[in-house]
Amino acid sequence: MPSFKPHASNFKEWLTTVPPLMVLTGDHYKLGVLEQVELCLRGGVKIIQYRSKFDIHNPTVYEQVLLLCKQIAEACLNNGALFLINDFIPLCHDSSAQGLHLGLDDSPVYEARKVLDSKVIIGGTVHNVQDALRRSHEGVQYIGIGPYRFTQTKDNLAPLLGLSGIKEICQSTPNIPAFAIGGIRPFDVGQILSAGAEGIAVSSAIFNSPYPHKSLDAFISALGAAPLQTTQIPSNETQHSTDQ
């Protein structure tokens, strides 16, 4: 377990102490969200991003999702892992998540900074060099570059980047850690890291697999870290319909 907690000012340093693998949860997988988180933490994942398709603007749904995210935040804290919320600034604030990921069409970074603690890590989606330069100007702690190749996880997919696109973007913002995302498989990892990315982000490659734990182990191994076997997860008893 890393000896210090990640926050905005030390994220780049912290990232060198953990497997550079970000796993995104989903509402539509066979495993419930807490089961996904448990699998990840048991497998050695140290960066988990909660992504939901639910209508979080609905107050009832929001309360259910907030309870779920508080459980995830506790589990991540107990295991030295970073917990990120995708898109929704109030949910990040209310759940005490350590980070927020913003898409290009989501709220601007400066709006998030008005609400969130200065220690909260903020990352942003990037599809090209212009996006990367914009994110650099906004002061994000990392960028998510994609899509690497076709994936069914994301609707309205941007143009595919491949290795050359990943490399070009990474070279444009060399001081910002970059995670490649989109249809990545374990055999891609070496080339993607050689292209300049610090890490990778995955979802369906693990949770749509008939053997999710084996798929996760393959990614961890490809990143040069042995799978771990210790974790502390809150009870599932308070899961709601958002985790089905």
Token output for 112: 């998030």
The answer to the question of residue 239 being in a domain is no
Determine whether 4 is exposed, middle or buried from the number of CB atoms within 10 Å of its CB (0-12, 13-18, 19+): exposed
Domain that holds residue 227: 12-233
* CA atoms within 13 A of residue 109's CA, in its CB half-sphere: 20
- The pLDDT of residue 232 is 53
The answer to the question of residue 162 being in a domain is yes
- The pLDDT of residue 4 is 83
The answer to the question of residue 1 being in a domain is no
- 15-74 pLDDT, tens digit per residue, is 999 999 999 999 999 999 999 999 999 999 999 999 988 889 999 999 999 999 999 999
- The pLDDT of residue 111 is 96
- The pLDDT of residue 240 is 39
The answer to the question of residue 86 being in a domain is yes
- The pLDDT of residue 229 is 44
- The pLDDT of residue 154 is 62
Q: Is the peptide bond before 147 cis (omega within 30 degrees of 0)?
A: yes
- The pLDDT of residue 161 is 96
Structural domains of the chain, count: 1
Which stretches in the chain have pLDDT values below 50? 226-231, 235-244
Task: Let me know how long the chain is.
Answer: 244
DSSP string, the chain: --SS---TTTHHHHHTTS--EEEE--SSSSS-HHHHHHHHHHTT--EEEE---S-TTSHHHHHHHHHHHHHHHHHHHHTT-EEEEES-HHHHHHHT-SEEEE-TTS--HHHHHHHS-TTSEEEEEESSHHHHHHHHHHT-SEEEE--SS--SSSSSPPPP-HHHHHHHHHHHSTTS-EEEESS--GGGHHHHHHTT-SEEEESHHHHTSSSHHHHHHHHHHHTT-PPP-------GGG--GGG-
Between CA 188 and CA 192 the distance in angstroms is: 6
Q: Going by C-beta distance under 8 Å and a sequence separation of 6 or more, which residues neighbour residue 142?
A: 11, 15, 121, 123, 124, 176, 177, 178, 179, 198
Between CA 21 and CA 48 the distance in angstroms is: 9
The answer to the question of residue 238 being in a domain is no
- The pLDDT of residue 53 is 85
- The pLDDT of residue 3 is 64
- The pLDDT of residue 158 is 82
The answer to the question of residue 242 being in a domain is no
Between CA 85 and CA 25 the distance in angstroms is: 10
The answer to the question of residue 5 being in a domain is no
Query: Can you tell me which residue has the tokens 């796993």?
Result: 23
Residue 128's domain is classified under what CATH number?
Answer: 3.20.20.70
Q: Whole-model pTM?
A: 0.90
The answer to the question of residue 112 being in a domain is yes
